[in-house]
């Protein structure tokens, strides 16, 4: 890590340290350093001798009678090696419990994944890696052994998402499916706390032996999801649940993160959901694979049909990412149990259609890639906060930004550039 950062008019000493040469990735490379005594830049070459770096101003003379050392041959870069997976005894018990469908062990495993403690994070990473290996081996033996369907359900607050999920999930459980519900609840920006109330709205579904409900806080993550939602889905699937329902926080027009972790994106609207202009706005509607106008009962039946007609027209203008698939717009009443079977029938049609077109696995691969980048950014952020040396540097630059000495853009660019140049 570079010990000094340069601003436009002055050199800011971030950390006082002796003049040392920071390691570069190539041998015999020229590296710039700053001398704290003279405050001037110097250039020196770097040689490596058994991992020890030495500062040399010129080449050492070769003693008489000794042949110069031959230049080391360039070798091809080796592929990255992965450390063997080592689970603690308690984590091994969790893995066995998950495979046996033990809901208590599954809950503990999700708690382990959500933990921010360093020791828990290491065990959670090892647990998820072991699960992926076992699933891959199982798929090689029988490609049809892993047949799960991930459904994301979102919509504005007040559209009856929890009631809809309970009615749909109960019907699926009665048909012999194993249903896992991951319900994301909002967290307070002030205190960070959450009231996990969605679980209390699904009492009937929660009592069914084929169901599993896990409320999770969003922890301020935008998009209506938790940072660990994809890991929770993986754990639930390994526990034998073939239908995974992700209920998001009540979202607005631009929050569509649930589409990045599920196979099907279902948007719920209320009979007062707006007009055709609202429907054609570029946002959550254009990502939806299906739209359901919920709460269509009593005096709201006619209003619900009007919204259904308007959104059907809007869908014709937006198009869909799957080309020939036109997202259906259905009406339902989760409270009265009306239209729920039709909704699931259309969902299965979408699943079959995407598999026939070869887009089902393609989309899952794309979602895994997107999830990789999200996790990478998250772990980079955690690494910065866990490094005392880096945080000291950031805090000093932050002070300059607060006083208006430099812009936040310049400070961010400087520290990222210096980290990757001299790490």
pLDDT of residue 248: 82
How many angstroms from the chain centroid is the CA of residue 254?
17
Say what the pTM is.
0.72
Buried b (16+ CB within 10 A) or exposed e, 344-356: bebbeebbeebee
Tens of pLDDT along 400-412?
Answer: 999 999 999 988 8
pLDDT along the chain (423 residues), means of 10: 41 38 37 48 41 44 56 51 69 93 93 87 90 88 83 87 93 95 72 59 89 79 67 93 88 66 90 58 76 91 89 78 82 93 95 89 87 84 79 88 91 82 60
Task: State the Cα–Cα distance between residues 180 and 97, nearest whole angstrom.
Answer: 16
Asked whether the CA dihedral 92, 131, 100, 245 is positive or negative, the reply is positive
- Provide the 8-state DSSP code for 298: G
Residue 253: phi and psi, rounded to 5, are -75, -30
The radius of gyration of the chain from alpha carbons, rounded to an integer in Å, stands at: 28
CA dihedral sign of residues 396, 400, 406, 409: positive
Distance from C-alpha of 382 to C-alpha of 115, rounded to nearest angstrom: 13
Report the C-alpha gap between 64 and 322 in whole angstroms: 75
Residue 46, pLDDT score: 38
| Residue bearing tokens 């660990």 | 228
* Domains 88-146 and 148-364 agree in fold: no
The CATH number of the domain covering residues in 88-146: 1.20.5.170
The residue count of the chain comes to 423
Alpha carbon of residue 277 to chain centroid: 32
Neighbours of 223 (CB within 10 A): 20
When the candidates are 3.30.365.10, 3.40.50.300, 3.40.630.30, 3.90.1200.10, the CATH number that belongs to 148-364 is: 3.40.50.300
pLDDT digits (tens, 9 = 90+) for 355-404: 988 888 888 898 888 888 888 888 888 778 777 878 888 888 999 999 99
Domain ranges of the chain: 88-146, 148-364
């Amino acid at each position: 890590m570079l010990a000094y950062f340069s601003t436009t008019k002055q050199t800011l000493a971030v950390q006082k340290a002796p003049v040392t040469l920071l390691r570069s990735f190539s041998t015999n490379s020229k590296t710039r350093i700053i001398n704290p005594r003279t405050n001037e830049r110097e250039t020196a070459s770097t040689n490596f001798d058994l991992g020890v770096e030495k500062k040399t101003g010129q080449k050492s003379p070769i003693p008489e009678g000794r042949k110069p050392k031959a230049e080391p041959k360039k070798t091809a870069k080796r592929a990255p090696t992965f450390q063997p997976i080592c689970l603690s005894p308690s984590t091994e018990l969790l893995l066995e419990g998950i495979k046996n469908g033990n809901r208590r062990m599954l809950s503990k495993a999700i708690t382990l994944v959500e933990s921010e403690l360093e020791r828990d994070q290491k065990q959670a990473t090892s647990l998820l890696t072991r699960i992926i290996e076992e699933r891959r081996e199982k798929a090689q033996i029988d490609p049809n052994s892993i047949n799960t369907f991930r459904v994301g359900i979102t919509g504005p607050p007040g559209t009856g998402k929890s009631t809809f999920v309970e009615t749909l999930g109960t019907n699926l459980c009665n048909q012999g499916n194993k249903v896992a519900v991951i319900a994301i609840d909002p967290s307070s920006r002030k205190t960070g706390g959450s009231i996990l109330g969605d679980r209390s709205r699904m009492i009937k579904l929660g009592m069914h032996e084929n169901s599993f409900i896990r409320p999770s806080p969003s922890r301020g993550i935008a998009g209506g999801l938790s940072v660990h939602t994809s890991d929770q889905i993986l754990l639930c699937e390994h526990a034998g649940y073939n239908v995974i329902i992700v209920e998001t926080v009540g979202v607005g027009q631009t929050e569509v993160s649930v589409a990045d972790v599920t196979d099907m994106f279902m948007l719920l609207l209320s009979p007062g959901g707006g007009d055709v202009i609202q429907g054609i706005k570029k946002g959550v509607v254009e990502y939806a694979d299906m739209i359901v106008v919920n709460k269509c009962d009593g005096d709201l039946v006619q209003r619900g049909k009007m919204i259904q007609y308007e959104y059907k027209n809007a869908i014709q203008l937006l198009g869909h990412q799957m080309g020939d698939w036109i997202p259906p717009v259905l009406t339902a009443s989760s409270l009265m149990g009306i239209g729920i079977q039709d909704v699931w029938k259309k969902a299965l049609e979408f699943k079959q259609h995407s598999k026939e077109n070869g887009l089902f696995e393609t989309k899952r691969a794309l979602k895994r890639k997107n999830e990789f980048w999200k996790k990478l950014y998250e772990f980079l952020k955690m690494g910065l906060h866990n490094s005392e040396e880096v945080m000291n540097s950031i805090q000093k630059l932050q002070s300059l930004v607060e006083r208006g000495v430099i812009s936040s853009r310049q400070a961010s660019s400087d520290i990222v550039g210096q980290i990757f140049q001299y790490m």
